[in-house]
Amino acid sequence: MLHKWLIEATRTRGSAKALVYRDTYLSWRGLQHRVERRVQEFGAMGIAKGHWVGLMLGNVPDFAILTLALAKIGATVVPLDPTTGTRDLGLILEHAPLRALITRPRGGVETQQAGNPPSGNGAPPPSESGLESRRRLQGTLLTCSIYKQQRDSPGKAAVVLFTNDSSGEPKGVLRTDENLDQAAVQAARALDVTPEDRILTTVPLYHAYGFDLGLALALRFGATLYLEDEVAPKRIVKLLREQEIDLLPGTPGLYGGLAKLPTAKALKIKRARYLSGGSALPESTAESFRERWGVRILPVYHTTEAATIACDRKGLSPGSVGKVIDGVELRVADGKTPAGSDGPLWVRGKAVARHAIGAGQRSSGAPTTSVGAVDSSGWLRTGDVGHVDKTGRIFLTGREDHLVKVDGKRVALGEVEGCLESFPKVQRAQVQVITDPLGGPIMVANVVVLGKCGAEEIIDHCAKNLAPYKVPRRIVFCEDIPG
């Protein structure tokens, strides 16, 4: 499906800009040419239809090029966070039978593979004994490790996007071609996307939010995609202004940083659709951004399993994520909950992925539907709790499980607390999420320590054992923690 979109965009948009990264760009014809070269290279490596291939890359052109080349082959693309820790990577690879893994030359993964298998609850990354070959992709610094195919793929999918399940463990959501097409069409209809749009993606492409509202939208409708792998507020504003960016999928943290810039002049962009997803958008952030830049932020409700669910197209309802978009059904609990009353949120639609992999996934014959799973009628139990008012606006008020969202990524507080308490100098720990009025949600750890201990020591310990987004931003020392 993804490659078919490329063919159509090349036919209709040809010499128009397809992909822009820093000071370079590719036209649609140029992008297709690069893709064809990678298709031939993958064929020579033995990567074929049905194989799962991991991409451990950030927001760089190679992510798009390799994704499209794998799509043409008929392989399943498995985007992975380059900062994934050893334990989480082991858990992912326990359930995702990768035929190949493409990484940067530096960044931890190759070091882990080359050394002893990591300890912990998860399986180790593919070992050297399972390695068939390792080579550098032509003209790049990327390394492609090819592994022996030890088991069949657990399901048919075009893309497998990872998030965390209700216990905080990695969960791979299997997206089909139909899921991808419906997600793109529904979002484009809600946001009025056209081939003339310029989309800037600062949120990671390996994250469903960035993939769906960045790469997929641009490909499906022939829009120009601008990639940015550094969230530097001054640079982002320069791009917004000079390139007249129409569509910006962002997070409260991004907009908080932009709102803090000391000098600001209103952006004169006629069709600006600057989206905020991943976590609650503080009203103060939305108001400060509008005052400084003259653009209203539009909250969206998006999940890895269902793609875009709702959008506040006018950005005029503080606290709401807007109304359900066309093509999506939403109900509160069993559907009989009165307007304004909180309950678990369920959604249904053709964009909803029905299958997932991971240690915590229930079998299809389970008597109850777990959080993040789909029942026999196609309803997804999102895990979010909220209500719908009389006008149809959705308000998210909590979670059914113990997960929180920090800039769009699910975090299990229990996992972070366990990491803190594994540090010899920490006796007890409690983690909470607070909202910075301009910066969005951040994790704060309250700790009781044994003897003398500095905050830097504790944060360093977490950084060595957790993905960067799971590391507490602040340490508060306490004499006791109630409960």
What are the sequence ranges of the domains in the chain?
2-164, 177-401, 405-477
For residue 367, the model assigns a pLDDT of 59
For residue 167, the model assigns a pLDDT of 73
For the segment 119-128, what is each residue's pLDDT rounded down to a tens digit? 333 334 455 5
For residue 359, the model assigns a pLDDT of 58
Kindly state the average pLDDT of the residues 88-100: 87
Kindly state the average pLDDT of the residues 450-478: 86
For residue 106, the model assigns a pLDDT of 55
In three-state secondary structure terms, 297 is strand
For residue 276, the model assigns a pLDDT of 92
* 2-164 against 405-477: fold identical: no
For residue 363, the model assigns a pLDDT of 44
Q: Which position has the higher pLDDT, 137 or 414? A: 137
Res. 329 pLDDT band, cuts 50 70 90: very high
For residue 118, the model assigns a pLDDT of 37
For residue 438, the model assigns a pLDDT of 56
Sequence-ordered strand ranges (E) for 359-425: 380-388, 394-399, 403-406, 409-412
For residue 430, the model assigns a pLDDT of 87
**Residues contacting 470, CB < 8 A, separation 6+:** 411, 415, 416, 419, 443, 462
For residue 79, the model assigns a pLDDT of 96
Range with the poorest average pLDDT among 44-53, 159-168, 237-246, 359-368: 359-368
Of 156, 141, 155, 163, the closest CA to residue 81 belongs to 163
Beta bridge partners, 21, equal: 24, 227
Per-residue pLDDT at 113 exceeds 60:
no
Say if residues 428 and 386 touch (Cβ distance below 8 Å). Answer: no
Res. 117 pLDDT band, cuts 50 70 90: very low
Highest mean pLDDT among 10-14, 121-125, 456-460: 10-14
CA dist 21 and 156 (Å) reads 32
Range with the poorest average pLDDT among 106-120, 234-248, 302-316, 339-353: 106-120
Check: CATH 3.40.50.980 for 2-164? yes
Kindly state the average pLDDT of the residues 162-178: 88
Residue 294 is encoded by which pair of tokens? 């003259």
Per-residue pLDDT at 469 exceeds 50:
yes
Range with the poorest average pLDDT among 254-268, 319-333, 338-352: 254-268
Average pLDDT, the chain: 86
Range with the poorest average pLDDT among 177-191, 316-330, 383-397, 451-465: 451-465
Kindly state the average pLDDT of the residues 5-15: 94
**Residues contacting 369, CB < 8 A, separation 6+:** 362, 375, 379, 381
Residue 323 is encoded by which pair of tokens? 């109304």
Percentage of the residues of the chain whose pLDDT score is greater than 90 = 50
Per-residue pLDDT at 314 exceeds 50:
yes
Kindly state the average pLDDT of the residues 194-200: 96
Say if residues 198 and 16 touch (Cβ distance below 8 Å). Answer: no
Domain topology for 177-401: Rossmann fold (3.40.50)
Kindly state the average pLDDT of the residues 400-405: 74
Domain topology for 405-477: GMP Synthetase; Chain A, domain 3 (3.30.300)
Q: Where do we find the tokens 């539009």?
A: 298
Kindly state the average pLDDT of the residues 20-37: 94
Highest mean pLDDT among 42-51, 118-127, 414-423: 42-51
Range with the poorest average pLDDT among 19-28, 176-185, 195-204, 423-432: 423-432
For residue 17, the model assigns a pLDDT of 95
In three-state secondary structure terms, 273 is strand
Q: Which position has the higher pLDDT, 20 or 253? A: 20
